[in-house]
Amino acid sequence: MRSVYLNGAFVAENEASISIFDRGFMFADGIYEVTAVLQGKLVDFDLHTARLARSLREMSLELPLDAAQLLAIHRELIERNQLTEGLVYMQVTRGVEDRNFFYPPAGSPLTVVLYTQAKTVLDSPLAKRGMNIIGLPDLRWGRSDIKTTQLLYACMAKEQARAQGADDAWLVKDGWVTEGTSNNAFIITRDGAVVTRELSRALLPGTTRAALIELVKEHDLRFEERAYTLEEAANAAEAFITSSTSFIYPVVSIDGQLVADGKPGKLTQRLRQLYIDHALAVLV
């Protein structure tokens, strides 16, 4: 049985409980982070704590834990659960108060939860065969740049993709791809440029996205940060997604149309290996 962290204590998962009046439960008034674990250590932890700090600011939440304390909690959870490969999930909500749309008074206790999940990260079948995706309208709220727990539409879109025999969906707004349901979307043009959507309130500033962009630049590969359509993506040389626990997965078809020859592209595979090398080099 897993050990989880809840509001300052490590407890067995079946003993952890949260009030029905928690604002995360009532309003999705909370944020989260997911950090990959390889060899029992954390990947890109500094990027995750930086994004966590940004989400906290955007939501006017003040977490009484600094980066060093968060690292110690993550490490303790990994040790207690003997996790070698997988993830640590962290969630912060605005805490407990009788149902009220207004925020509780400043300084009110937050709810802080962390737990581990075992998952195959390096040897994933999807990394080998590639993903089949569909395009769907982006019907999320207007602050998709904040990593909130408000993920209902992402669930709905993933379920619609599964119903159509696909692995996931890319979301489209005003004719342009924003991102995947839980990942950032990339294409590689026929002349070799790595392309992803520019950051805005329409999409999440992914940690893997950020690290990969730096790797692309370090290896003198062409990079373009711009909007593109689903049609351009389907006709690209390659396509792929990035996320914290998938790293990089090739996309081999979009709305039933094969991307190139319908097999994981060579540059995508190279980028995945570059990111894995990076991840193993920055473990903490």
Q: Which residue is associated with the tokens 């602050």?
A: 143
Which residue type occupies 245? Answer: T
Identify the CA nearest to 196 among candidates 155, 238, 154. 238
Q: Are 171 and 195 in contact (CB under 8 A)?
A: no
Catalytic residue list:
147
SS3 content of the chain, % helix, strand, coil (to 5): 30, 30, 40
Phi, psi angles (nearest 5°) of residue 192: 90, 10
Q: How many CA atoms lie within 13 A of 51 on its CB side?
A: 25
Q: Are 32 and 2 in contact (CB under 8 A)?
A: no
Which residue type occupies 70? Answer: L
Phi, psi angles (nearest 5°) of residue 190: -70, -15
d(CA 280, CA 182): 23
CA distance readout (Å), 108 to 89, 93, 94, 103: 23, 11, 8, 10
Q: Are 145 and 197 in contact (CB under 8 A)?
A: no
